[in-house]
Amino acid sequence: MATKQLADWVSALEYSSLAQPVVDAAVRSFQNSLGSILGGSNHQTTQRTIKALQPLFDSRQCTVIGHATLTGSAVFCDLQNAALINGIASHVHDYDDTHLHTVIHPAGAVVVSLLAVAEHLKLADGRVVTGKDFLTALVAGIEVGLRIGNAVSPKHYDEGWHITGTVSPMAVAAALSNLLHLTPEQTANAIGISSTQPVGVRVHFGTDTKALHVGLAAQNGIQSVMLARGGFTAASDALEGRRGWVEVLGNGSNMLDEQINQLKKLAEQDKADSQTEERGLWEIEKNTFKPFPCGIVIHPTIDACIQMHNEQKLKDPNNLNKISSVRLRVHSLVLDLTGKKTPKDGLEAKFSVYHGAAIGLVLGSATPAEYEDHIVNSSDVLQIREKVVAEVEDNMRSDEAVVVLTMQDGAKIEKHVEHAVGSLDRPMTNEELREKFQSQAEPVLGKERAEEVEAMAWKICDVPDVARVAKAAR
């Protein structure tokens, strides 16, 4: 019954069911995702994709976000390829969002699919998608994806699946089914068709293919919904059935029913708007946003180093040169996942806690600019990086780190970050999200247009026609 229950829930979800905190969380997820798409739009991986697949672009209905041809006109392509490319862009800097319990990056695939379909519908059917419809569909997709993810975590990811790619086709299917008002039966078929197209094993981390997983999830989800809308059938017990998604990819873990019960309870709670008991959180409210474009386990270290850069005035080379060693005390996974001592380029630097510490101390900043190849190999950064040693400390939480500088005069300066910026206990503020957005959007769109697009993102609930957002991001 799990597949059917999820489909029923998706079909029934309306904007009026969403409590204000859910709306606010969805707006933040959208604003952050749109910035990430813009930030990744000029990445080499995204460029390669556009060039490679151009022979397949035919219709010119949908926007390739942030792109222009050499003559200055915008780049368009068909629905599926637009979602594919924008999906790659959303994830390519590892600068998007993270649902910490599952390590899913939930918004990207859903956002790019909804934007592309909004443009497609307008041109193909003359139908306009409002901001409220868009946001409701976004919530439907993200909740479904995260609930399915919860049901198989952490085993599924541990066994080698890139969970963002395996779960997102279903999230996209749920979002579009809601947007396009598919019947509950069609919605179940859409979820079923998408579930049989899981994308991604983790061996590809560190290559172009990692970000491709997000683009493919969008593409697969869109196609699934179109098939289901046309009467195409899938197993009605696609998720929970014998040899279904949970059994085969979740390796028998079956906590899906419990997750669905919680999902239904939360929607009812928010409808009743009960003030007496403590409000339970929707999964989208637990989404976090990456302050730094690298593996999340490095974030507490970078946070500490940036604070020290500011407090110790390390911008001044005289101060910086007094550092004789940098000692990191970090969570047990840090060296496993991000222990690259001598990263050769920006892509490898994302897996180096040493580079993260160095740019924090030397540059006081960790945006995509500090992960460009020439920064990774600059003498300033290398000089400090070579002085960094890292030790795992058993009781350290994953959002916690201690950084100790030893100065040439023997003085020790310590910084203890208990909860890194961007963690659940210290979420990014809206102001920090604004800075993050502009740092990515401005180089692509220019200041004025970047601010215009961002304003639309924050006010998405009042936007009468979502296709305009994509249009503005050309």
Q: Which stretch in 27-35, 137-145, 208-216, 351-359 sits in contact with a second copy by CB under 8 A?
A: 208-216
Q: Is residue 168 part of the contact set for a second copy (CB under 8 A)?
A: no
Angle at 392 between CA 389 and CA 398, to 5 degrees: 115
Of residues 72-111, those binding a second copy (CB under 8 A): 78-80
CB of 415 to a second copy, least distance (A): 34
Are 113 and 145 in contact by the 8 Å Cβ rule? The answer is no
CB of 466 to a second copy, least distance (A): 19
Are 148 and 85 in contact by the 8 Å Cβ rule? The answer is no
CB of 437 to a second copy, least distance (A): 28
Name which position in 106, 108, 192, 291 contacts a second copy (CB under 8 A): 192
Q: Is residue 287 part of the contact set for a second copy (CB under 8 A)?
A: no
User: What is the spatial distance between Cα 225 and Cα 154, in angstroms, rounded to a whole number?
Assistant: 28
Q: Is residue 349 part of the contact set for a second copy (CB under 8 A)?
A: no
Over the window 131 to 160, marking each residue x when it contacts a second copy by CB under 8 A and - when it does not, the resulting string is: ----------------------------xx
Are 175 and 83 in contact by the 8 Å Cβ rule? The answer is no
What residue type is assigned to position 468 of the chain? R
CB of 411 to a second copy, least distance (A): 43
Q: Which stretch in 130-138, 241-249, 294-302, 367-375 sits in contact with a second copy by CB under 8 A?
A: 241-249
CB of 190 to a second copy, least distance (A): 11
**β-sheet bridge partners, residue 406:** 325, 412
Name which position in 16, 20, 55, 318 contacts a second copy (CB under 8 A): 55
User: What is the spatial distance between Cα 170 and Cα 185, in angstroms, rounded to a whole number?
Assistant: 15
* Residue with smaller CB distance to a second copy, 123 or 369: 123
At which residue do the structure tokens 């399915």 appear? 148
Name which position in 223, 287, 338, 352 contacts a second copy (CB under 8 A): 223
CB of 223 to a second copy, least distance (A): 7
Task: Please enumerate in sequence order all residues whose Cβ is within 8 A of that of 250, keeping only pairs 6 or more positions apart, or say none.
Answer: 151, 152, 155, 156
CB of 202 to a second copy, least distance (A): 4
Q: Is residue 374 part of the contact set for a second copy (CB under 8 A)?
A: no
CB of 132 to a second copy, least distance (A): 25
* Residue with smaller CB distance to a second copy, 67 or 229: 229
Structure tokens at 365: 């900043």
Are 40 and 89 in contact by the 8 Å Cβ rule? The answer is yes
Q: Is residue 216 part of the contact set for a second copy (CB under 8 A)?
A: yes
Q: What is the dihedral of CA 209, 213, 218, 222, to 10 degrees?
A: 90
Nearest residue to 194 (alpha-carbon basis) of 158, 155, 164, 166: 166
**β-sheet bridge partners, residue 405:** 326, 413
Q: Is residue 235 part of the contact set for a second copy (CB under 8 A)?
A: yes
Name which position in 20, 69, 70, 242 contacts a second copy (CB under 8 A): 242
CB of 23 to a second copy, least distance (A): 31
Collapsing DSSP states into helix, strand and coil, what is residue 61? coil
At which residue do the structure tokens 């089914």 appear? 177
* Residue with smaller CB distance to a second copy, 55 or 72: 55
CB of 351 to a second copy, least distance (A): 14
Q: How many residues bind a second copy (CB under 8 A)?
A: 59
User: What is the spatial distance between Cα 436 and Cα 432, in angstroms, rounded to a whole number?
Assistant: 6
* Residue with smaller CB distance to a second copy, 106 or 192: 192
* DSSP tag of 404: E
Listed in order, strand segments (DSSP E) in 166-310 are 287-289
Exposure of 182 by Cβ count < 10 A (0-12 exposed, 13-18 middle, 19+ buried)?
A: buried
Residue 429's Cβ-side half-sphere holds a number of Cα atoms within 13 Å equal to 3
| Residues near a second copy (CB under 8 A) | 45, 48-49, 51-53, 55-56, 58-59, 78-80, 120, 124, 159-162, 165, 192-193, 195-204, 206-209, 212-213, 216, 223, 226-227, 229-235, 237-238, 241-245, 247-249
